[in-house]
Amino acid sequence: MLSGAIALPSAFNPVAWHFHELLFGFVVAAIAGFLLTAIPNWTGRLPLQGWPLGTLVLLWFIGRVAVAFSAWTGPAAAMAADLSFLIVFGAVIAREIVAGRNWRNLPVLAGVAMLCAANAMIHAGLFGQSEWEQAGKRLAISIVVLLISLIGGRIIPSFTTNWLRRQGAEDFPVPFDRFDLGVLAVSILVLAVWVVLGLNTVSGTALIIAAFIHALRLARWRGQATLREPLLWILHIGYAWLPLGLALLGSAAWKPELATTALHALTVGAMGTMILAVMTRASLGHSKRELTAGRGTVIVYLLVLIATLARLAAPFVGADYIAAIDIAGGAWIAAFALFVVLYSPLYLRR
């Protein structure tokens, strides 16, 4: 699309389509995959499988087609088709939590419901509600950041502790405690201010404060001790993009040229890296493989980091902007393509 080779018949302009599909095509699919894998462990119930799971996948696919061809279908039909996935997925989560009486994970259901609301707000931009669209974009990013903070705050110190214990270490990450609850509470408040007010000196200052406490939180997890295991250090690096992105976003209140860089630190950086980190680990664990990253998996991690760094650098390299975008896009595609090559056999074999 950037090179002019293709033009999608979407009612969204190309940049809005890119944002929407990164969040509601790619990231939401990964969130669904994670939750459909994790919820059976939380509730003790059987995982969603067979035709119910196939129907959910089909709804996701129909949403992607509807958004891509929304100039033909009309914005109302595209909106209905796109929202159906999150609505049905939310109902599935609610059923599992209620049936398993797993009330402690209700915040996850609330997050999915808020993502659905954010998606509807972005679609409202096609009906002339540009302020709703911008607020919906901020809400979507905020909810995913909070999910990374919530889930990452559970799994990163836990996985790190388990590995360090096997290595005979005596110093372990600080487990989830009141400090972590405080980080989550402050993050919810700060991101709510950003969603409502947009970027100004008040929200900018709050975002920088949130970045600082997330950095403190990460420092408690002993990431420096995991350098010999890529499956672990990639989780720490993935989470590190979160405080960096929040700091850049807050700074953009005074230096607006940092806004795009900040958003890509949170999306390409935190979201993309964390998704690959969790997918590789879960694929190995659930297929009963050894929990260690091979050379190919390390290359996957390096490629997604190259993609992030290139995308963040793009606005600052002048005439080489398109070249930086090409490097970022190429490395991103290569990272996920290599993941498919390496890990699809694990799913296809007995």
The identity of residue 8, as a single letter, is L
* Contact call for residues 279 and 33 (beta carbons, < 8 A): yes
Going by the DSSP 8-state scheme, the letter that residue 47 receives in this structure is P
Provide the domain limits for residue 45. Answer: 1-128
Residue of 38, 36, 67 lying closest to 54 (CA atoms): 36
Q: Is residue 118 part of a domain?
A: yes
160 located within any domain? no
Q: Considering the domain boundaries, does residue 23 fall inside one?
A: yes
CB 185 within 8 A of CB 213: no
Contact 234, 277 (CB under 8 A): yes
Give residue 134's pLDDT: 96
pLDDT value, residue 148: 95
85-130 pLDDT tens trace: 999 999 999 998 888 888 888 888 999 999 999 999 999 999 999 9
Torsional sign, CA 277, 142, 70, 113: positive
List pLDDT tens digits, range 18-32: 999 999 999 999 999
pLDDT confidence of residue 100: 83
Q: Which two tokens stand for residue 27?
A: 């990231």
pLDDT of residue 46: 87
Supply the pTM of this predicted model: 0.94
**What total number of domains does the chain contain?**
1
**254: in domain:** no
Assess if residue 104 is contained within a domain: yes
In a domain, 122, yes or no: yes
List of the chain residues with pLDDT < 50: none
Please answer whether residues 76 and 105 qualify as being in contact, where contact means their C-beta atoms are separated by less than 8 angstroms: no
Query: According to the model, what pLDDT value does residue 27 have?
Result: 97
